Chains A and B, each alone.
Chain A
Amino acid sequence: MTQTTPESTGTAPAPQGTLFLDGEAHAFQPGETILEVARRAGKTIPTLCHDPRLEPAGACRTCLVEIEGMRRLMPSCAMPATEGARVTLESARIDRHRKSLLGLYLTDHPEAETVAARRRPNLLLDMAERYEAPTDWPKMAPLRASRSGDTNPYIDFDAAACILCARCTRYCDEVESVSAISLAERAAQTTIATADSRSLLDTTCEMCGGCIDTCPTGAMAEKRPITLGAKHEQELTKVRTTCNFCGVGCQLDLNIDPEADAGRGRIVKVTSPPVGTTTNDGNLCVKGRFAYEFVHHNERLTEPLVRDEQGQLVPATWEEALARIAEGFGRVKERHGADSLAFVSSSRCTVEENYLVQKIARASMGTNNVHQCAAT
């Protein structure tokens, strides 16, 4: 076996140069921005419109830094790292700028109680609190239109909570590439719209929910938890697991309300893990993000069933059902031999369960007749 186990794809080129962040030297690689170098070095630079999956927009101005030799503050998300650059991440000037900027954002943003109704984290309010932004500036009259009458059951848009960072529309263009939503109208009326304000159901939208995942304020949010009045995302228990649909193996977080459904617990929503930590890179599709209601469906089987003498399936205890199996398989094996039995396992079940099915076929019953639907 000549198998090797590389540390990386072998694609990472050697560091290209060095820049200075608050006086400290940091190596950077070709194509990296100042923000990327800083975050890799564990520095905190606040951002609202930045998403590593998207091209830099430089729109929200929260990531401004001082670069020696440049007169104005510059957006670190859009500035390429250059050899010898001296960058200041924290200064009185930056702090002053940030406070005013966040204060201005807040004049066009609903109160915390209204925002909480979205049941999603709000990065703007967190940031305003952390940087002690002024909260008492007079509020603007909200002029952005939401899309009333959109009957799609999954994605809800509240224009009031939108800060027009355009992460959702850029995600729709650049990542999902269906361009179902875009910025529309002008000035204070600018909003996120579909063609002719149609329901998302009647657009090219594939309901991947990437707009929700990337939204920093919860303007884009899961509709079901809102209409059901579920708990806020922060009060839910996240269980990281692997999606049960296709073979990509997306990691997802089941957001569980453990007290719901008389203590059995209930999946309130599904969110994706942070960008860059899993194979799916923060992305999910419509099935992964929204198709979990079947778990709680009232047609789930809750009792073993056995066929009675009239040919009807009737409820039975586990003991009865297992005894029937022992008797049934025993009888077939005795009459026709082990190879008259076959086991159909499932590529939907876990590795452990597939292991047990083949072990039962081989070790308990003595046949290699075991397969599943997926051996193409």
Chain B
Amino acid sequence: MAEPALELRDLNKAYGALTVTDHVSLALPDGEFHAIIGPNGAGKTTLIHQISGLVPSDSGSVWLGGRDVTGLSLPERVHRGLVRSFQITSILPGFSALENVALAVQAREGSSFRFFGRARDEARLNDPAMQALEEVGLGKRAGVRAGLLSHGEKRQLEIAIALAAQPRVLLLDEPLAGTGPEESAVLIALMQRLRGRMTILLIEHDMEAVFALAERVSVLVYGRIIASGPPAAVRDDPDVRTAYLGEEGG
């Protein structure tokens, strides 16, 4: 079998006496849509931070397509195809939606040490950016300042930025956070379209979305993965029910 697209080997992280990531190991085969669920404070976002390189791990390693990327910085991992989105919308509010995405194209396409020529007019940056915007359904909003977009549109933009970086592995940190039902539907449909085109690791609270989208689900509680498997199996796992779903389902 081929190397997993993304593999976590025994990742650990503690803040003082508080262990937030506890011996996490996980392997995602190429093209898998994998979701991580867990109660608030389970350490999901910290885990994403560690995988993406925003926060260093205390020990353990992150492997991308069979290569150890643990020592690489966040931007270096992006260039290897490991791209993430943020739970709290992270965009450039003063730039147009198109420029937000064009910057992601610029990051992977050619040198950014160019001091002449208007970057805003470069078709080789704008065309792929436009394509990504259309892909997420924001084509008509390309010229709008990102800060003026609605919350749902900002979430779409965030995904467009990630797509423009041409990820092999995409980390989505609660893309549905704070969205209304209609906005959620748009985003879920978008993730549905991305399924299979790249390896996706999704962190999400919306159970309905997770069980509809994911091929495999892992449950993170207090920094530990207590169950991992197909959605139906995880849903029926007694440990999961007591530790997590039981509370939510009531």
* Chain A partners chain B: no
